[in-house]
Amino acid sequence: MKSMHAIDIDTVEMTLDIMKYAINRISNTNPELGSPKKEELLDKLVGTTITEKGIGGEKAFQLFRDILAKAAVPVDHPRHLAFVPAAPTRAAILFDLVTSASSIHGAYWMTGAGGIYCENQAMKWLVSLTGLPETAFGVFTSGGTAANLSAMIAAREYWRSLNDENKAFKALLITSSGAHSSIISMAQVIDADIILVDDHGEDRLTGDFLQKKIDGLSAIDRKRLFAVIATGGTTNAGIIDELDTIAQVCEKENLWFHVDAAYGGGALAAPSVRHLFNGIEKADSITIDPHKWLFSPYDCGAVIYKNLDHARKAHSQKGAYLDIFKDEGAQGFNPADYQIQLTRRLRGLPLWFSLAMHGTKTYEMAIERGLELAKFAGEKINSMPHVELVREPGLSCVLFERKNWNPTDYRNWTYDNHKKGFALVTPTKWTKNNKTKTISRFCFINPDTTEEDVVEILESMK
């Protein structure tokens, strides 16, 4: 039987086909805005692909290229302004191919040294953006969810190590009502209770509100409380909690201070808004997603700790066959010791290559472009009679409404634009003074989005 690992004419042809597709796709500045199809329809169009003998690379690739890739939305489409889109640089995408081709295990220095060295160079830059002390460091994860989870586990284990009583309690953490859904899900994963602090219409968590909440806790809940999670750029509105005063409260109350800057963290590199993050340098841990506003391909998150020892105590795995990796002879930094995963892809490598190629100044400019587009959209909305700004843009998020529209109008407009292959802009909800309404939202990440794109989308609401 033919070996799957042999190089033959079929492998060569398949390689050429795939490289040609990859080059075309990477160099395409305006990819088709694909849309989903029902599974039954895909079944009809594609049929069975997994068979005993295999259908061959040419056929499988043709099905993917001509049908399946078109049934998905490219996150880097310049008029994809929904959720948190992405816009990986061409250098980063290409290096994602290199990362796969290089087959390096990224868990331990002993086997991954050269790749981990590159990741660590990129990490040094990330850490420098936060202003944390030089002892701080971090690792790349599969995304913000895994980074938040890794940090929460480190925080809880540190708290448990403080005294035996803490080991008996169910842990409790506080976050704001604007926190990302993954915080609530990850609290469930670690079986911790969670309190959402209402900001009473202030749109962000402040030290004052936090202190009042802590003061109002029962004695037992105060003992259970181990961490506060602030947000450095809420996903819905780009709001940054008042990190400075929250840090002061955490210090006074001896609580772990985590900042979830999965979306907003990229803006730490933007001089025009850096001051909004003041206080982040006092965090015990921080989440930043390079696959959001630092132009990495999926998937790449990062968790940074002020004190790596706390993370290592929580995450380092032990096992007879792992001892050799921890030996002096292995000579270096082991990413597996600082987050939840053992075997890991070197997911920081594409970021490293792109940063090394373009330099940090180019990153700064590309991030400022997202902020500039948000400002432009805000001004444009203010100048158009049929739409209205809900609040001033927060980072690169713009919340706005179409006057006299109900939720069905927003939904129809979204689907209509998507079906036409014109744009993906989705509805969201906004609550103020206990009143929730359906509105729309732009989130700008892609520096290739133009002012004309913004105007055309707004005009499509007329």
Ligand X SMILES: Cc1ncc(COP(=O)(O)O)c(C=O)c1O
**Dihedral in degrees, nearest 10, Cα atoms 255, 123, 116, 139:** 20
Tell whether residue 207 is a contact of ligand X (CB under 6 A): no
Q: Name the one range near ligand X by CB under 6 A: 12-20, 41-49, 139-147, 425-433.
A: 139-147
Tell whether residue 370 is a contact of ligand X (CB under 6 A): no
Cα 370 off chain centre by: 16
Tell whether residue 140 is a contact of ligand X (CB under 6 A): no
Say if residues 202 and 208 touch (Cβ distance below 8 Å): no
Say if residues 86 and 445 touch (Cβ distance below 8 Å): yes
Q: How far apart are CA 95 and CA 452, in angstroms?
A: 31
Amino acid at 380: K
Tell whether residue 144 is a contact of ligand X (CB under 6 A): yes
Contact with ligand X (CB under 6 A) among 260, 284, 337, 401: 260
* DSSP symbols for 242-268: -HHHHHHHHHHHT-EEEEEETTGGGGG
Tell whether residue 214 is a contact of ligand X (CB under 6 A): no
Nearer to ligand X, 148 or 176 (CB): 148
Contact with ligand X (CB under 6 A) among 143, 279, 350, 370: 143
Q: Name the one range near ligand X by CB under 6 A: 6-14, 138-146, 162-170, 376-384.
A: 138-146
Tell whether residue 263 is a contact of ligand X (CB under 6 A): yes
Nearer to ligand X, 145 or 428 (CB): 145
Amino acid at 129: L
Over the window 400 to 439, marking each residue x when it contacts ligand X by CB under 6 A and - when it does not, the resulting string is ----------------------------------------
* Paired strand residues for 302: 140, 288
Tell whether residue 224 is a contact of ligand X (CB under 6 A): no
Q: Name the one range near ligand X by CB under 6 A: 221-229, 257-265, 395-403, 428-436.
A: 257-265
Residues 6+ apart with CB under 8 A from 420: none
Q: How many residues bind ligand X (CB under 6 A)?
A: 14
Say if residues 382 and 389 touch (Cβ distance below 8 Å): yes
Contact with ligand X (CB under 6 A) among 99, 206, 235, 417: 235
Site for ligand X in 175-194 (CB under 6 A): 180, 182
Token pair for 347: 């997911």
Least separation, in Å, of the C-beta of 301 and ligand X?
5
Exposed e or buried b per residue across 109-121, where buried means at least 16 C-beta atoms within 10 angstroms of its C-beta: bbebeebbebbbe
Nearer to ligand X, 119 or 289 (CB): 289
Least separation, in Å, of the C-beta of 96 and ligand X?
16
Tell whether residue 301 is a contact of ligand X (CB under 6 A): yes
Tell whether residue 394 is a contact of ligand X (CB under 6 A): no
∠ CA 8-10-15, nearest 5°, is 100
Contact with ligand X (CB under 6 A) among 262, 267, 294, 423: 262
Which element (helix H / strand E) includes 398? strand 397-402
Say if residues 145 and 312 touch (Cβ distance below 8 Å): no
